């Protein structure tokens, strides 16, 4: 696995530059300089040094306002490359599309995230915020309104369940049969499930009479309880048009940074124009923001200020040429920089591969997970951390390269959530009329959930119907004994009779058949284990180059699959491995790398697919990825 590291060691290099010293002194004097020169990652470099110097990596506050959300995300990621310890205290302030009268509600998750950030600011848990200008202009609840909008429920509290449900509807929650996403709630019997937009998990409240008997967190996918808590808080799921803005929540003497001020002004005008037509009262004017920016602030721009009265400072950064995957050209360039005493830093999401490729071209490159010292003149360091763009500082003899220059793009993270498959854990996984299998009583028909009073206690049961009008009531806490029946579609199974012997006979036959299959598989795999296979060679430089041009960052499971396949190929035994994954999860890339490794050993590769269309798709992918090789 790749090890993340920071570029924190580069900050002293910037601090030595006269232009940076001038900027730092200006801010300490509470002036508002207009800084010309930094762009892309250079802005994060400057801000990381300023934040560290001014003591705002642990206290105080920094608000960075960007023209767009994309710019905000890039800046946030680049800041973390220089200051990784800042991650718990840095956040992106969310926004959502303007909502017309017939366009439904804003996404509950974004609303909840916004409210949670405001609460964290009140609790002094945040230091840095990166906000698109549209998000900054949107009105939010004041601290008093924020506290008043929260609905707190404690264990043992007497509260009417229907009244609580009505208050959730009023707060913008959607009432459904099953709660899966934020901003939803459901009721059944004496139970209420709800997922507050700012919460990490939904909660299940259970009543005994009119008293809340228990409050439990649960997994929305398995519906299983994970933790019992003493209280919970429900925050609104719909936008709250309050009387405040994000600026009202900033700590005193916060540093405010305007990223491309002229672009901010233009984007604010666009937002105001659209808001007048759709949500006229949802935003404040940009002029009001400018009036309030009496705080210490800095403006980072690629152009000169529009008037001569503004204090202008220049910081000189240079660009880096693009190599487009041509590793020989990259090696020559680094060799030239080293010979001229330059410090070369490669910030890449694929540090190990880049290091091996450079060494194969006789370039000495050190790869470390956390270098304490700054890079020395004439040396190259490969840092396992992504950065959006590279840059140079001629006066400091510093060159920073990224995946963008090396392979032609910045590696994109694919946001997948992997979950293990789960069996039936909740009655909510079933619908009335589904066939089910009870481990002790066989196949029955699920009729629904019923509430029964037995032995003086009232609780929920699954009602299962069997042959001859028999019924079985299964307590919901014994759901592990029941599974959904899976068989041939369109051919309903035979329902068993309670107390009969047929189910036991079927289980015995299946057990014997399974044992026979196990014996056959054991014989087959013993034969395979004894058979000799070809041990493929370790990865070649070309293999590393091919993998370095993959435009995505491998997901953890994809990375493990690739390493497992290579390990299998390098042993003298036949490989027997199944790679399973949904569409778009990177199975083709695993196969392509394995095929390339085989070709490097002089072997031929055949790719078998079920359809002509899929064959053409794979052909196009292989053709594109292997275009640079003979």
DSSP string, 60-98: S-EEEEESSHHHHHHHHHHHHHH-GGGGGGEEEPP----
Fold of domain 18-143+240-314: Rossmann fold (3.40.50)
Coil vs helix vs strand at 532: coil
Q: Which residue from 445, 425, 448 is spatially nearest to 435, judged by alpha carbons?
A: 445
Burial class (CB in 10 A: 0-12, 13-18, 19+), 173: buried
The first and second tokens of residue 29, run together, are 């004097």
Alpha-carbon Rg for the chain in angstroms: 31
Domain ranges of the chain: 18-143+240-314, 151-234, 327-413, 431-527, 541-625
Distance of CA 118 to the CA centre of its chain: 21
Phi, psi (degrees; rounded to nearest 5) at 218: -150, 160
The first and second tokens of residue 278, run together, are 């759709």
**Helices (runs of H) and strands (runs of E) counted in the chain:** 18, 27
Strands (E), 243-371: 255-259, 297-301, 312-314, 343-347, 365-368
163 Ramachandran zone, left/alpha/beta (phi>0; psi -120 to 50): alpha
CA distances from 584 to 251, 416, 522, 555, 588 (A): 44, 10, 34, 11, 9
- Contact yes or no for 212/154 (Cβ under 8 A): yes
- Contact yes or no for 242/142 (Cβ under 8 A): yes
In sequence order, the β-bridge partners of residue 442 are: 438
Q: How far apart are CA 209 and CA 207, in angstroms?
A: 6
Length in residues, the chain:
630
Q: How far apart are CA 492 and CA 485, in angstroms?
A: 10
CA distances from 162 to 150, 206, 581 (A): 18, 13, 43
Give 245-276 as a 3 state SS string: CHHHHCCCCCEEEEECHHHHHHHHHHHHHHHH
Phi, psi (degrees; rounded to nearest 5) at 158: -90, 120
Domains 151-234 and 327-413 equal at CATH topology level: no
Phi, psi (degrees; rounded to nearest 5) at 213: -85, -35
Phi, psi (degrees; rounded to nearest 5) at 527: -65, -45
pLDDT given for residue 592 in this prediction: 93
pLDDT given for residue 341 in this prediction: 93
The first and second tokens of residue 197, run together, are 């937009």
The first and second tokens of residue 276, run together, are 């007048």
- Contact yes or no for 106/239 (Cβ under 8 A): yes
pLDDT given for residue 2 in this prediction: 35
Q: How far apart are CA 548 and CA 552, in angstroms?
A: 10
pLDDT given for residue 107 in this prediction: 74
The first and second tokens of residue 400, run together, are 């920073």
Domain boundaries 431-527, corresponding CATH code = 2.40.10.170
Low-confidence ranges of the chain (pLDDT < 50): 1-4, 101-104, 370-371, 414-425, 427
CB within 8 Å of 9: residues ≥ 6 apart: 371, 372, 373, 374, 375
Give 491-510 as a 3 state SS string: CCCCCCCCCCCHHHHHHHHH
Q: Which residue from 589, 598, 592, 561 is spatially nearest to 577, judged by alpha carbons?
A: 561
Q: How far apart are CA 451 and CA 464, in angstroms?
A: 14
- Contact yes or no for 504/496 (Cβ under 8 A): no
pLDDT given for residue 416 in this prediction: 43
Domain 151-234 in CATH: superfamily?
Answer: Penicillin-binding protein 1b domain (3.30.2060.10)
Q: How far apart are CA 75 and CA 57, in angstroms?
A: 16
pLDDT given for residue 488 in this prediction: 73
User: Residue 569: enclosing H or E segment and its boundaries?
Assistant: helix 556-569
Q: Tell me the CB-side half-sphere exposure of residue 5, using CA atoms within 13 A.
A: 23
pLDDT given for residue 105 in this prediction: 57
Class of CATH domain 327-413: alpha beta
User: Residue 591: enclosing H or E segment and its boundaries?
Assistant: helix 587-600
Q: How far apart are CA 495 and CA 503, in angstroms?
A: 10
pLDDT given for residue 289 in this prediction: 87
Q: How far apart are CA 267 and CA 260, in angstroms?
A: 11
Q: How far apart are CA 7 and CA 21, in angstroms?
A: 20
**Geometric angle at alpha carbon 84, from 83 and 89, rounded to 5°:** 90
Burial class (CB in 10 A: 0-12, 13-18, 19+), 198: buried
């Amino acid at each position: 696995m790749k090890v993340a590291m920071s570029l924190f060691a580069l900050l002293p290099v910037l601090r030595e530059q006269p232009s940076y010293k001038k900027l730092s002194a200006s801010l300490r004097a509470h002036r508002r300089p207009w800084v010309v020169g930094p762009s892309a990652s250079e802005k994060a470099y400057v801000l990381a040094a300023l934040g560290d110097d001014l003591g705002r990596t642990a206290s105080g506050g920094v608000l960075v306002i960007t023209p767009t959300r994309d710019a905000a995300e890039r800046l946030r990621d680049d800041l973390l490359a220089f200051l990784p310890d800042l991650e718990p205290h840095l956040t992106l302030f969310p926004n959502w599309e303007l909502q017309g009268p017939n366009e439904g509600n804003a996404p509950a998750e974004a609303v909840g995230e916004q409210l949670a950030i405001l609460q964290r600011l009140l609790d002094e848990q945040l230091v840095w915020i990166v906000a698109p200008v549209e998000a900054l202009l949107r009105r939010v609840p004041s601290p008093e309104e924020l506290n008043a909008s929260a609905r707190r429920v404690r264990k043992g509290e007497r509260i009417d369940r229907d009244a609580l449900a009505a208050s959730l509807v009023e707060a913008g929650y959607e009432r459904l049969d099953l709660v899966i996403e934020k901003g939803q709630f459901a009721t059944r019997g004496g139970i209420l499930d709800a997922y507050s937009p700012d919460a990490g998990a939904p909660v299940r409240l259970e009543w005994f009479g009119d008293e809340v008997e228990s409050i439990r967190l649960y997994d929305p996918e398995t519906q299983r309880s994970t933790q019992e808590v003493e209280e919970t808080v429900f925050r609104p799921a719909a936008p709250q048009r309050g009387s405040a803005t994000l600026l009202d929540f900033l700590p005193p003497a916060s540093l405010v940074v305007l990223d491309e001020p002229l672009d901010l002004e233009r984007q604010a005008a666009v937002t105001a124009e659209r808001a007048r037509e759709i949500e006229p009262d949802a935003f404040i004017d940009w002029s009001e923001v400018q009036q309030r920016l009496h705080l210490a602030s800095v403006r980072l721009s690629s152009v000169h200020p529009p008037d001569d009265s503004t204090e202008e400072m220049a910081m000189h950064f240079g660009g880096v040429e693009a190599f487009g995957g041509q590793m020989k050209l990259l090696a020559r360039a680094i060799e030239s920089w080293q010979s001229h005493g330059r410090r070369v830093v490669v910030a890449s999401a694929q540090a190990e591969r880049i290091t091996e490729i450079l060494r194969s071209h006789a370039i000495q490159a050190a790869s470390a997970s956390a270098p304490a010292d700054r890079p020395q003149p004439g040396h190259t360091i490969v840092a396992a951390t992504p950065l959006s763009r590279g840059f140079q500082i001629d006066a400091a003899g510093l060159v920073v390269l990224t995946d963008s220059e090396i392979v032609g793009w910045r590696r994109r993270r694919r946001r997948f959530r992997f979950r293990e498959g789960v069996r039936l854990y909740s009655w909510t996984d079933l619908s009335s009329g589904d066939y089910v299998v009870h481990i002790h009583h066989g196949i029955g028909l699920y009729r629904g959930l019923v509430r029964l009073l037995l032995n003086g206690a009232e609780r929920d049961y699954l009602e299962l119907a069997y042959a001859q009008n028999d019924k079985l009531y299964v307590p919901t806490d014994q759901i592990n004994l029941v599974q959904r029946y899976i068989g041939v579609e369109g051919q309903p199974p035979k329902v068993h009779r309670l107390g009969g012997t047929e189910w036991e006979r079927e289980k015995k036959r299946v057990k014997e058949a399974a044992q026979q299959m196990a014996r056959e598989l054991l014989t087959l795999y013993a034969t395979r284990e004894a058979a000799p296979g070809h041990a493929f060679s370790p990865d070649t430089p070309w293999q590393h180059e091919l993998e370095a041009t993959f435009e995505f960052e491998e997901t953890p499971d994809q990375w493990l699959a690739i390493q497992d396949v290579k390990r299998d190929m390098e042993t003298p035994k036949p490989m027997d491995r199944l790679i399973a994954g949904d569409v778009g999860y990177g199975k083709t890339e695993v196969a392509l790398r394995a095929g390339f490794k085989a070709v490097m050993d002089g072997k031929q590769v055949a790719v078998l697919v079920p359809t002509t269309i899929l064959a053409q798709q794979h052909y196009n992918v292989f053709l594109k990825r292997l275009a640079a090789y003979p």
